[in-house]
Structure 1
């Protein structure tokens, strides 16, 4: 068991139910960290900034890297921590943007459990908003980039079923319980 055994990422394309799931896991007493990229986009909208992925991906990625690194340092040693996206997400987005990924992104990405939960694209729950201007087709493409990136980095990707948020949370809990029994 590595020293980062309690740090789990929930990833997926935009609008796949990650944040809602993290809120539910938080209600169950788990330490959960909100999606940094969404917070950065909201802040940039408020100040009229351009550090958003569709205008200045490299600067946006750097801000996200710093804040996600800070989140990692706040994960308690006891109990499970869940992250709404992880550092490998930045790698996937930077690759999708055809930019060079800084080495430090790869190095820091090793500081999570090697099991990652992927919320697949789900048309029925997908919505657009100010921080999520992507189309559903974009969300499908992003999800594929994410899955491929995580697999290339050696993570085991567990796809979440398209269940209610309560059943998704129970799926994760059951999975982690079965892992700890083996």
Structure 2
């Protein structure tokens, strides 16, 4: 069974906080490629930033997500990903028209169930790594939400509940699938 679980959805919807909770509970977690890239690019005065060169940023995210996926193979328990390859490939395809999504999503599969954080304006904030507004976050969510089912994934939209309850919800759902 594939135990690599994607948590995707709206930017600012609580993914990183949720992954931190799953990590505190002893599960392997993988930080969002985009946040890691932004930190690296800001430290090195690089230009592969979403507000400077989104195509270069998406290509770097694909490379990082591919490496993350490979390193999680063979893990005994669940590994939870804050975004992943499909998010990055979807962005690149949206920007350039390059048909990368189907090819990459076939070669690198995640668990059949993908959890999405819906737009949640009450918790949305911007920060040094997230400079876009809530409208842009919603547009990204609206692009991603229908993408996963077309690639053969079951999508479960997470309820707007406490972080601990969201973690319980995910673990209960995955346990029921085993």
Normalising by structure 1, we get a TM-score of 0.89
Q: Which runs of 5+ in 2 are unaligned?
A: none
Q: Say yes or no: does 1:170 pair with 2:168.
A: yes
Where does 1:36-75 land on structure 2 (aligned, <5 Å)?
36-75=33-72
Q: 2:9 aligns with which of 3, 9, 12?
A: 12
Answer with 133-142 or 86-95: which moved more: 86-95
Where does 1:96-175 land on structure 2 (aligned, <5 Å)?
96-102=94-100, 104-108=103-107, 110-175=108-173
Q: Match of 1:81?
A: 79
Detail structure 1 runs of 4+ shifted over 4 Å in the superposition: none
Q: Which runs of 5+ in 1 are unaligned?
A: none
When the two structures are aligned, how many residues end up with a matched partner?
176
Q: Say yes or no: does 1:28 pair with 2:13.
A: no
Judge conservation of contact 2:13–2:120 (CA < 8 Å) in 1: yes
SS in 2 for 1:97: helix
SS in 2 for 1:134: coil
Go from structure 1 to structure 2 and tell me whether the alpha carbon gap of 1:57 and 1:69 turns closer, same or farther (over 3 Å shift).
same
SS in 1 for 2:174: helix
Superposed displacement of residue 114, structure 1? 1.7
